[in-house]
Amino acid sequence: MIRSTVARVDLGAVAANVRALRDYLAREPRNGAPVPSLIAVVKANAYGHGAERVALAIEAAGADTLACADIEEAVALRRAGVRAPILVFGALSISDLDGIFEYGLTPTITTPWAARAVQEAAARRGVVIEYHLKIDTGMHRLGFRDENLRWTLPPVLASSHLRLQAIYTHFASADDAENPLFAEQRERFDAASEVVRELTGLMPMRHAANSAATLRDSRVWYDAVRPGLLLYGIVPPPLASTIPLQPAMSLTSRVVAVKGLRPGEAVGYGCRFVAQEPATVAVVPAGYADGLDTRLSGRGHVLIRGRRAPIVGAVSMDMLTVDVTGMEVSPGDDVVIIGRQGDESWQQLDAREMAAAIGTIPWEIVCRLGSRIERQYS
Ligand SMILES: *Cc1c(COP(=O)(O)O)cnc(C)c1O
């Protein structure tokens, strides 16, 4: 039994995106600096695409390292057969540290507290664990503050069961060309790198760039870049890119019913759409329980028979309704919610457009796609 609303994930597109990114990183001249390696971010169920299949495809396509949000996500990747290094970004304090050792994960140390916890756990097992150190250069969430490193870092470096493998930072505003914080964070990270070099005697491996920063400034590529969104074929708004990326996911359904409305009749909860003229609505079996935002009502579109049909009336838990007045629509017709239905530019709906229509970001659109929706891989 397959529900009519399905997400198709094109693993070939994901692999092609990995290769396109690698080509882009190799092409850009950087005064002789080596080509950065690729840390592929597959947190949050690979941005809703399905972590296990996507991670294996990305690994096979040649990503050097995979990264996820917490130990639990990383353990799921190992169980799925991922053998590449896996960097765990954060949330160590609420996770079971055993996973780091049992599954060979690379933790990020983001606080002195986390350093002590990992050091103690490694000492108990009699092993030395390699870690990445996160430096806070202006995001002000996790990480050692850059200006405090001279006294916060020495005790961590002195821990006999911890070995520093890399340092990194994370940009708060890489997608905003107007915001000076991006350049400030780069300068702070460069200065912090020098402090680490002084304290350790060598320049550690460094990484900083999320998707937006990867597109914007090759100076922040350092030794590795850390894109997420780009891997899935979505360019962070408002940026544009010439990298040939393909959207990896489409979301499709089928019309389950077609209903004629007389003038003055309304459809759905709250009577939010009232027909002024005789109207026809098509009912599509996908709703907010599938991750489709209620704000799409009156703002979003779907494609039916190659045409854009506006979403009207309230998006409900399991259904949404679209205005197909004047169109020949029948139950069973294909509906595209994200994806394309024809070759014209207006016959494509993507996560970026959907996000813009409702005032959110494309990351949220794909990550929220419900677990009830089956992911079909090709
Ligand atoms: C999510 C995340 C990324 C990837 O961000 P994108 O904007 O999707 O490229 C990179 N680094 C860290 C630390 C992250 O949490």
CA-to-CA distance for 167 and 208, rounded, in angstroms? 9
Residue 3 lies in a domain: no
Classify residue 236: in a domain, yes or no: no
Q: 43 lies in which domain range?
A: 11-231
Alpha-carbon distances, residue 296 vs 171, 300, 336, 353 (angstroms): 30, 5, 14, 11
Note whether residue 278 is domain-resident: yes
Q: Which residues line ligand 1 (CB under 6 A)?
A: 41, 43, 89, 170, 210-212, 226-229, 236
Structural domains in the chain (count):
2
Q: What does the pLDDT read at residue 93? A: 63
Specify the ligand 1 atom closest to the Cα of 43: 1
Residues 63 and 182 in one domain: yes
DSSP code of residue 325: T
Whether residue 170 is found in the same domain as residue 21: yes
Catalytic residue numbers read 43, 269
From the alpha carbon of 69, which atom of ligand 1 is closest?
Answer: 15
Q: Are residues 142 and 202 in the same domain?
A: yes
Query: Does residue 152 share a domain with residue 45?
Result: yes
- On whether both 284 and 220 belong to a single domain, the answer is no
Together in a domain, 227 and 254: no
Tell me what percent of the chain is helix, strand and coil, each rounded to the nearest 5. 35, 25, 40
CATH at residue 264: 2.40.37.10
Q: Is residue 320 part of a domain?
A: yes
pLDDT at 47: 98
In terms of domains, do 327 and 267 share one?
yes
Query: What letter does residue 373 receive in the DSSP assignment?
Result: S
Residue 238 in domain: no
Q: Please tell me whether residues 60 and 201 are part of one structural domain.
A: yes
In a domain, 241, yes or no: no
Provide the sign of the torsion angle of the four alpha carbons 301, 303, 309, 314, taken in this order.
negative
pLDDT at 295: 97
Q: Is residue 239 part of a domain?
A: no
Measured in Å, residue 109 CA sits from the centre of ligand 1 at: 17
- Residue 131 Cα to ligand 1 midpoint, Å, equals 18
* Distance of CA 172 from the midpoint of ligand 1 (Å): 10
For residue 134, give the ligand 1 atom closest to its CA.
Answer: 13
Dihedral, 253, 259, 264, 270 alpha carbons, nearest 10? -40
The predicted model scores a pTM of: 0.96
**Residue 15 sits in the same domain as residue 144:** yes
Q: Tell whether 98 is covered by a domain.
A: yes
pLDDT along the chain (378 residues), means of 10: 89 98 91 92 98 98 97 96 96 78 96 93 96 97 96 97 98 96 98 98 97 97 98 97 97 98 97 97 97 97 98 97 98 98 96 97 97 95
Give dist(CA 296, CA 301) in Å, integer.
Answer: 8
Q: pLDDT at position 91, please?
A: 64
Q: In terms of domains, do 203 and 280 share one?
A: no
